[in-house]
Amino acid sequence: MKPSPDFLAVTRSERTIAGASRLTPVAALLVAVTLLAACASTPAPTVGPTSPAPTASAPTSPPATQITEEGLRDRLDALAALSTKADGFRAVGSTGYDAAADLVISDLQASGWQVQEDAFTTPAFFDDGGSRLEVAEQAFQAGDVAPLIFAPGGEVTGPVVAIDWETPESTGAGCSAAGYGGLPEGAIVLVPPGVCFRRDQVVAAQAAGAAAFVAGYPAAAAGSVLRPTLVDPDGLTIPAAGASGPAVAALIDVAAKGGDATLVTDARTVPSPTRSIIAELPGSEPDSVIMLGAHLDSVIDGPGVNDNGSGVAALLEIARSLGGATPRSTIRLGFWGAEEVGLHGSFHYFEGLSAEEREAIRVYLNADMVASPNGYAAVYNESGAPAGSATVRDLLAAAIERAGGTPQILELGGGSDHLAFQQGGIPIGGVFSGANETVSPQQATASGSKAGAPADPCYHMACDDGSDLDLGLARMLTSALAEVAGDLANEPTLLED
- Looking at the structure, tell me whether residues 49 and 146 fall in a common domain: no
Q: Report yes or no: 192 and 111 within 8 Å, Cβ to Cβ.
A: no
- Looking at the structure, tell me whether residues 47 and 180 fall in a common domain: no
- Looking at the structure, tell me whether residues 290 and 347 fall in a common domain: yes
Of 245, 265, 285, the domain-final residue: 265
| Encoded amino acid at 255, one letter | A
- Looking at the structure, tell me whether residues 113 and 150 fall in a common domain: no
* Confidence check: pLDDT of 346 > 90: yes
pLDDT (average), residues 228-244: 95
- Looking at the structure, tell me whether residues 331 and 453 fall in a common domain: yes
Taking the CA atoms of 438, 442, 448 and 452 in sequence, report the sign of the dihedral they define. positive
pLDDT (average), residues 477-497: 90
Q: Which backbone phi and psi does 136 adopt, to 5 degrees?
A: 55, -120
* Confidence check: pLDDT of 23 > 50: no
Of 246, 265, 284, the domain-final residue: 265
Using a pLDDT cut of 70, give the percent of the chain over it.
Answer: 85
Distance CA 335, CA 345 (A): 9
pLDDT tens profile 72-98: 999 999 999 999 888 899 999 999 999
- Looking at the structure, tell me whether residues 313 and 396 fall in a common domain: yes
Of 209, 243, 265, the domain-final residue: 265
- Looking at the structure, tell me whether residues 215 and 259 fall in a common domain: yes
Question: Residue 437 catalytic?
Answer: no
- Looking at the structure, tell me whether residues 46 and 159 fall in a common domain: no
Taking the CA atoms of 238, 242, 246 and 252 in sequence, report the sign of the dihedral they define. positive
Per-residue model confidence (pLDDT) at position 312? 99
Domain with 169 in it: what CATH number? 3.50.30.30
Per-residue model confidence (pLDDT) at position 387? 93
Which of 126-130, 250-254, 473-477 shows the lowest per-residue confidence on average (mean pLDDT)? 126-130
- Looking at the structure, tell me whether residues 441 and 388 fall in a common domain: yes
- Looking at the structure, tell me whether residues 85 and 225 fall in a common domain: no
Distance CA 2, CA 418 (A): 12
Q: Domain total for the chain?
A: 2
Burial profile 185-222: b = 16 or more Cβ within 10 angstroms, e = fewer: eebbbbbbbbbbbbbbbbbbbbebbbbbbbbbbbebee
Instruction: Pick the catalytic residue from 69, 117, 339, 411.
Output: 339
Confidence of residue 55 (pLDDT cuts 50, 70, 90): very low
pTM score of the predicted model: 0.86
* Confidence check: pLDDT of 382 > 80: no
Domain with 391 in it: what CATH number? 3.40.630.10
Q: Which domain holds residue 41?
A: 5-123+274-495
- The residue among 448 and 37 whose pLDDT is bigger is 448
pLDDT tens profile 434-452: 999 999 999 999 999 999 9
